Structure 1
Amino acid sequence: MSVPLSVLDLSPVSAGSTPQQAIRNTIDLARHAETWGYRRFWVAEHHFVDVASSSPATLIALIAAATRTIRVGSAAVQLGHHTSASVVEAFGTIDALYPGRLDLGLGRSNHRRAQFRAAAGQSARTEHRPTVVRDGVVIPPPFDPARIQDLSRVAATFEALLLPGAESKDYTEQVAEIRALLAGHYRGADGVALHAVPGEGAQVDLWLLGSSGGESAQLAGRLGLPFVANYHVAPGTILETVAAYKDSFRPSARYPEPYLVVSADVVVAEDDDRAGWLARSYGHWVYSIRSGAGATRYLDPDTAPPLTDQQQQLVADRVTTQFVGSPATVAGRLSALQHLTGADELVITSVTHRHEDRLNSHRLLAAEWGLGHVRAA
């Protein structure tokens, strides 16, 4: 039996469109995803770029209001940009009206800040391991952050998201605070009991997300929490990430066994050639991120110019690990990823220039995967 499929949506803004339309498209996709049998619908958190998911809690509330049964959540709230109390209160507010449907995924933006600061003082390393194919899954060399061409925008973004003089908390400490606030045993300064209203007792499932075998994977394992390994962001470290989570796992009351979700970037069309054309401008979008400019508006493949050799080299790991093709082609590759990693669930993200092509991609995959009765959009 196939594992469940879920959706991670970035609310991409297409060239010639607007952020307002991107949000409408996200809500429309969520409604369809629920009808087509996807288990969850998650949104990400990005700032000062041309994706419209800058306020995940707000967007999650809108999606929950527009759907009925599908689980809705974050992948992920970046903890370095928020206090523990603000996260719990926001999700508690949504849970008050849509109880038992929320997934609170947490990410480590403070780690990324340190990573980029370190990369700013380094030259890109020229030695790396070669791309390999393991049981049908492409494993490229890990991406070196020092290859990002201009880190000034990244640094400015991190600074803009913190109050002057503020420092983000240690990730492990902040996860502990969120768990304590949800459970009702949080203690503030001088041991004073504080209670999140709303938030305490909220029926929210906590998830951690990670792109390496570092703190996030190991912490999720130690706490007995479900974990998302980001193959779509960091395909080169997927095996280390999965191993770190499973090796560190300790059973919890909710999860006696590890529960692993693996992400993949997907474009599906009626045939391989059509899907390849729709995905033609994906490399341009990844290049805008890795050049340091931040994610730009997603280009129309009919008018996007070819990438240069230098641009192609910068994005090769992401382009070669995108799952592009007919429903049978993509389902086969996803099955290989699931078998290699032992994933209990897969979460897919799909970006195309036209919203109708993105809807069709999710619809075709749902039908091929056997998620249930799937009709045309």
Structure 2
Amino acid sequence: MTVPLCILDLSPVPAGGGVAAALRNSVDLARRAEEFGYHRYWVAEHHFAAGVASSHPALLIAQIAAATSHIRVGSGAVQTGHQTALSIAEQFGLLDALYPGRIDLGLGRSGQRRVEAIAELGRPPVAPPEARVVDGLLIPRPFSFAKLIGSPRFAVYASLLQQEGALPPDFPAQVDEILALLAAEYRSEDGVEAYARAGEATDVEVWVLGSSGGESARVAGARGLPFAANYHVSPATVLEAAEGYRAAFQPSAGNAAPRMMVSADVVVASDDEEARRLATPYALWVRSIRLGEGAIPYPTPEQAAAYAWSDEDRELVADRLATQFVGSPQTVAEQLRTLQRVTGADEVLVTTITHDHADRVHSFELLAKEWYA
């Protein structure tokens, strides 16, 4: 059985382009994605990145939902460490009131991860496991984000994203508050009722996104929520994430059994050679993220080809390059089917970045035609 195909969009800003055009491109792509048969269209939340325009999902979701008619639209993901449960519930409840039955609220940890990363820096280093292939799916050596997230640059970013003196909220407690507010069932510890009128008793579908078998997977499973495992962010831990979620799963009113999505970075073109050319800038783009610079405006293939790579550079991006699915529709569809089969995912979420918008639209069109053929 063919599982649904979904899109994660970062609203990429190409080299030489601007934010306004990138956002208009996202709205245009969403319209086309609906025509192509995609099931969901999710937008990301990224800050301090010159090459990413999607910074506030709820605002962009409203524009996309207004420009489409039936595709589900949601966040991948709201960074919960930067907002209160009330503000999140109100935003997505308002969206559901305007576009009933179409809104997904994907939740992710943010500030909580920085606290963990700083703690990790103080521990003795542990040799990472070697890369392996599991039933045809590459599981590369893991990349440690501890040094990056624990850097002074990220401390400054955190200070700009939170009120002075604020601490990252407890993720499980915040998820519980969001669920209670959306269900109009919130009660404080001493019995005081509170209501998010804009979010009261909505049909918002709540997801949790995660990159490992840690807290995010456990929170989703214990509450019977659907879970999205991020192969495109942390391919080394995708199986751990899927296993952790299923091990923690408890049936809920909305989900009698685990329900999981898995993500992947893809570039599709008419043939493998053209797809590889379009994907050339990806390595340089990932490098900028992992050096803590924030995603740079997405280079042209020619700009990327001119970069002089060091061995250190190549090691920095090796896992992401090895797990990006690039090629003809047949090539990429087969790789995605392997990813779906090995993880047991119920839906597949793909993200694609190219310098030219037309190439990105064409990539999604070719993939959908092959996937649903």
Tell me by how many angstroms 1:307 deviates: 2.6
Residue 310 of structure 2 is matched in structure 1 by 308
Residue 110 of structure 1 is matched in structure 2 by 111
Q: 1:175 to 1:288 in 2, by over 3 A?
A: same
Output one character per residue of 1:58-98: Cα deviation in whole Å (capped at 9) or x when no partner. 00111111100000000100100000000011111111110
Tell me by how many angstroms 1:121 deviates: 5.0
Letter in 2 for 1:321: T
Q: CA contact under 8 A between 1:149 and 1:290: conserved in structure 2?
A: no
Tell me the SS of whatever aligns to 2:319.
helix
Tell me by how many angstroms 1:202 deviates: 1.4
1:352 lines up with 2:354 in the alignment: yes
| Separation in 2, partners of 1:189, 1:217 | 26
| Separation in 1, partners of 2:13, 2:172 | 33
Tell me the SS of whatever aligns to 1:159.
helix
Letter in 1 for 2:81: G
Tell me the SS of whatever aligns to 1:346.
strand
Residue 375 of structure 1 is matched in structure 2 by none
What are the within-5 Å matches in structure 2 for residues 155-170 of structure 1? 155-170=155-170
Tell me the SS of whatever aligns to 1:198.
helix
| Separation in 2, partners of 1:119, 1:360 | 42
Q: CA contact under 8 A between 1:110 and 1:171: conserved in structure 2?
A: no
Amino-acid identity (%): 54
Output one character per residue of 1:129-163: Cα deviation in whole Å (capped at 9) or x when no partner. 22111122110011112454982222211111001
Q: CA contact under 8 A between 1:115 and 1:145: conserved in structure 2?
A: no
Tell me the SS of whatever aligns to 2:233.
coil
Letter in 1 for 2:132: V
Tell me by how many angstroms 1:128 deviates: 1.9
List alignment gaps of at least 5 residues for structure 2. none
Letter in 2 for 1:45: E
Q: CA contact under 8 A between 1:232 and 1:265: conserved in structure 2?
A: yes
Aligned-pair RMSD on alpha carbons? Answer: 1.6
1:90 lines up with 2:91 in the alignment: yes
Q: Which moved more, 1:52-61 or 1:113-122?
A: 113-122
Q: 1:187 to 1:149 in 2, by over 3 A?
A: closer
Count how many residue pairs are aligned between Structure 1 and Structure 2: 370
Residue 204 of structure 1 is matched in structure 2 by 204
| Separation in 2, partners of 1:151, 1:119 | 12
| Separation in 2, partners of 1:168, 1:155 | 13
Q: 1:308 to 1:147 in 2, by over 3 A?
A: farther
Q: CA contact under 8 A between 2:118 and 2:146: conserved in structure 1?
A: no
| Separation in 1, partners of 2:287, 2:166 | 31
Q: CA contact under 8 A between 2:45 and 2:57: conserved in structure 1?
A: yes
What are the within-5 Å matches in structure 2 for residues 163-178 of structure 1? 163-178=163-178
Q: TM-score, normalised by structure 2?
A: 0.96
| Separation in 1, partners of 2:116, 2:12 | 25
Tell me by how many angstroms 1:250 deviates: 1.3
List alignment gaps of at least 5 residues for structure 1. 372-377
Q: CA contact under 8 A between 1:150 and 1:293: conserved in structure 2?
A: no
What are the within-5 Å matches in structure 2 for residues 133-282 of structure 1? 133-146=133-146, 148=148, 151-188=151-188, 190-282=190-282
Residue 374 of structure 1 is matched in structure 2 by none
Q: TM-score, normalised by structure 1?
A: 0.95
Q: CA contact under 8 A between 2:354 and 2:360: conserved in structure 1?
A: yes
| Separation in 2, partners of 1:348, 1:115 | 28
Tell me by how many angstroms 1:190 deviates: 4.5
Letter in 2 for 1:91: F
Q: Which moved more, 1:150-159 or 1:10-19?
A: 150-159
